[in-house]
Amino acid sequence: MTTPLLLILVAAMAFLATHVAYEWLARRLLIVSGAEYLVLGVLLGPQVTGLFTVAAIDASLPVVVLGIGWMGITSGMPLRLTQLVRIPAVAYRLSLVESVVTFLLVGAGAASAFAYGFQLDRASALVPAVALGAIAVASTPAGLDVAFGGRRRAVPVLQQIEVAHGMDGLLSVLAYGALVAYLHDAAPLLVRPLTMTEWIVVTLGIGTLGGMLFHLFLGDEDSPDRLVIALGGAVILTSGAAWYLQLSPALAALALGVVLANSLRRPGAVTEVLRAGERPLYYMLLLIAGVSWRPEGNIVWWLVIGHYVILRTLAKLWGTGLVTWLNRAHDRVGLDWGRALIGQGRLTIALALDYSRRDLPHGDVVFTCAAVSVLFTEFFA
């Protein structure tokens, strides 16, 4: 089977999964992560049936970059300033501490596991550990989408969970983007190598420029057909430019989303188009990730995976309860709202797939941790 035909097959399967399987599984069985398509990708890959060849995996890179950028822009669209200022400060304080605690706890545990299991020095273990810490922060709102859909009740605990999801996505993308900028190789055409801060500014500048161009040519256009084409072009331009410069497509697309959310007078139409395209692209990422996945049964791998899953679960459950109690907010939101943050999904897979596609240390281990976490937290979302 030729590579273009395989990519068309993946797109068709993702479309059918979105419009047929998702609603039934989500409503009847409460399965919301789409992890079954990751397993399907493994079955279609070179390790099992061999239907997807190495050439097909390499040819899927544009789809991967588009999917990563799409997950990034959906993380930036909720950051509309006029809505954010209405939220109580305590909600941001609880969410920020929860995200930072998760990043530090998982990052420190993963660094110890990498150093001990792979006999690495601390400096060499930090790169994959920081990547896992950033990925661990991300959580999925899929459980809330299934339970409430677009009709969220105006109660403090649901507001707290939504703010926490937004904060998790923001800090996850920022931390991962900063890591990619830190590891960036010197460009040969530059007079001097750019610093990490300068590469971050370049990444954000790419997204800002993409948002300005979109606003210039479309403005407050609300036609779904035109928005799909325009948004697809904007995401491809932004994420593709970031990938070409060896930067983070998710961070550039997040900046694009923030610009659109705060510059458009009616961003609702853009948000609806993004939501409609998010799930098919996520399933395509899952299929491609499963095809290119190279897991091993090494005991050292399970040591790292165990650290990741256990420490992340503890941070989301006990960390949220502790910070809520210390801020005396338990009467408002309770102590167990962190259970809604256990699930991982779209952004997790996007960042892990981004890391594994780069020539960075222990990419297969990092992606395996993320994939196992998605599988493990599927029924808890």
Query: Is the confidence at residue 131, as pLDDT, over 90?
Result: yes
User: 305: which 2 tokens?
Assistant: 């995976």
Our measurement of the distance from residue 316's CA atom to the centroid of its chain's CA atoms, rounded to an integer in Å, reads 17
**What is the pLDDT at residue 171?**
96
Average pLDDT on 144-161 reads: 70
- What is the pLDDT at residue 18? 47
pLDDT higher at 188 or 264: 264
Q: What is the pLDDT of residues 47-73, one digit of tens each?
A: 666 677 767 777 778 889 999 999 999
In terms of Cβ atoms closer than 10 Å to its own Cβ (0-12, 13-18, 19+), residue 27 is: exposed
pLDDT above 70 covers a percentage of the chain that reads 81
Q: Tell me how far apart the 2 most distant CA atoms of the chain are, in Å.
A: 61
Residue 188 has pLDDT above 60, yes or no: no
Average pLDDT over the chain, rounded to whole? 83
Question: Which pLDDT value is given to residue 377?
Answer: 80
Cβ(200)–Cβ(182) under 8 Å? no
Q: Which of 97-111, 238-252, 277-291 has the lowest mean pLDDT?
A: 277-291
Over the stretch 209-227, which tens digit does the pLDDT of each residue have? 988 888 777 766 677 777 8
Residue 356 confidence (pLDDT) above 70: yes
CA distance 209 to 191: 24
pLDDT higher than 90, residue 1: no
241-284 residue pLDDT tens: 999 999 999 999 999 999 998 988 878 888 888 888 888 888 88
Higher pLDDT: 304 or 2? It is 304
Higher pLDDT, 62 or 137: 137
Say whether pLDDT at 19 is over 50: no
Q: What is the pLDDT of residue 149?
A: 58
Q: Report how far residue 283's alpha carbon sits from residue 136's, in angstroms, rounded to the nearest whole number.
A: 20
Q: Taken in order 287, 372, 105, 196, is the CA torsion positive or negative?
A: negative
- Mean pLDDT over 306-311 rounds to 92
What is the predicted pLDDT for the residue at 164?
92
C-beta neighbour count of 306 within 10 angstroms: 14
Angstrom distance (rounded) from CA 86 to CA 116 = 47
Which residues have a Cβ under 8 Å from the Cβ of 297 and sit 6 or more positions away? none
CA distance 275 to 22: 14
Confidence category of residue 288, pLDDT binned at 50, 70, 90: confident
Higher local confidence (pLDDT), 39 or 209: 209
pLDDT for the residue 293? 79
Can you tell me the distance from the alpha carbon of 176 to that of 303, in angstroms, rounded to the nearest whole number? 22
Q: Please determine, for residue 168, whether its predicted confidence score (pLDDT) is greater than 80.
A: yes
pLDDT at 340 over 70: yes
What is the set of domains in the chain, with CATH numbers? Answer: 3-380 (1.20.1530)
Residues whose CB falls within 8 Å of the CB of residue 257, separated by 6 or more in sequence, listed in order: 72, 73, 74, 75, 76, 77, 79, 207, 211
Cα(136)–Cα(127) distance, integer angstroms: 14
